[in-house]
Amino acid sequence: MRIAFGKPIIEFQGLQWKLADMETGTAAARELLYKACAMADRSEPLLPKYSSMAKLFASDNAMKVTVEAVQVLGGYGYVNEYPVERMMRDAKITQIYEGTNEIQRVVIARSMT
Ligand SMILES: Cc1cc2nc3c(=O)[nH]c(=O)nc-3n(C[C@H](O)[C@H](O)[C@H](O)COP(=O)(O)OP(=O)(O)OC[C@H]3O[C@@H](n4cnc5c(N)ncnc54)[C@H](O)[C@@H]3O)c2cc1C
């Protein structure tokens, strides 16, 4: 447990808010993914839109969460002896491959016209 200024750092509200946002974003990403998977099972016509939204949201969230995880862990988050900096890099590629997130946005926007 990391102690700073005489307290476990989890007791600082600034860090609690970060963790709450990370948890909320990840739960939302999971729900959108499950929805897209259920639509795939039923071959629904809006599947391309929802699969793009799931890929976009989950990968952007993964990037946001891992950047915050590095921040929360301070120096231990940054150095490569610990896995968190690798997780941040791994999250980055999910915004790039399988259709970049810019292209996912193009697909989503086209489905709205
Ligand atoms: C580690 C890794 C693993 C990979 N694995 C595979 C794999 O298994 N199979 C496979 O087929 N490919 C794979 N790829 C390739 C990956 O899909 C491409 O890197 C990705 O599609 C982006 O293409 P590009 O690198 O040519 O970038 P570019 O097409 O040159 O794009 C560069 C930037 O411009 C943006 N951009 C391009 N066109 C537009 C547009 N019309 N509007 C807005 N923005 C745009 C892109 O979003 C991106 O940000 C992998 C790549 C990496 C790095």
CATH architecture of structural domain 26-111:
Up-down Bundle (1.20)
The confidence band for 1, taking pLDDT boundaries of 50, 70 and 90, is confident
Pair of tokens at residue 19:
């963790």
pLDDT for 96 equals: 98
Place of tokens 């968190």: 84
> Which one, of 29, 100, 35, lies nearest residue 64 by Cα?
29
Which residues are catalytic, by number? 98
The string of pLDDT tens digits covering residues 65-87 is: 999 999 999 999 999 999 999 99
Rounded to the nearest whole angstrom, what is the distance from the C-alpha of residue 57 to the centroid of ligand 1?
17
Ligand 1 test: best mutation among 102, 107, 110, most atoms within 8 Å of CB? 102
CA distance 84 to 77: 6
For the chain, report the end-to-end CA distance as a whole number of angstroms. Answer: 51
Q: What is the mean pLDDT of the chain?
A: 97
94 lines ligand 1 (CB under 6 A): no
The confidence band for 25, taking pLDDT boundaries of 50, 70 and 90, is very high
109 lines ligand 1 (CB under 6 A): no
Tell me what the mean pLDDT of segment 83-108 comes to. Answer: 98
Rounded to the nearest whole angstrom, what is the distance from the C-alpha of residue 97 to the centroid of ligand 1?
6
- Residue extents of the structural domains in the chain: 26-111
Give the predicted TM-score (pTM) of the model.
Answer: 0.94
Pair of tokens at residue 49:
């839109």
